[in-house]
Amino acid sequence: MLDRAADYAPDSRNKGAFMLGIWANANGYRRDETLNTAEEYVWMVQGVKSTPFTVDEARSAIRSAYTYPQKEPWKRREQLYS
């Protein structure tokens, strides 16, 4: 989820953190668990733009995501073999 969220960073690091919160919530992670990943997310995306991005900003976006209705969890894609 962190890698997928970091894909948003070139456009918006806040959106990436928000999406991390949406996906984590959908997949059963508690808010405090996801907030604990904010530092790792910030470390991953810090150099994407020249302006600073703080752990507090990431945590704020994650908190916001948890106020939205919970989405459907991700499902593993079945791989078909011949």
Residue 43 lies in a domain: yes
Tens-level pLDDT at each residue, the chain (82 residues):
999 999 999 999 999 999 999 999 999 999 999 999 999 999 999 989 999 999 999 999 999 999 999 999 987 666 556 5
Name the domain count of the chain: 1
Range of the structural domain that residue 7 is part of: 2-65
Indicate whether 50 belongs to any domain.
yes
Cβ-count burial of 12 within 10 angstroms (0-12 exposed, 13-18 middle, 19+ buried)? Answer: middle
pLDDT at 75: 77
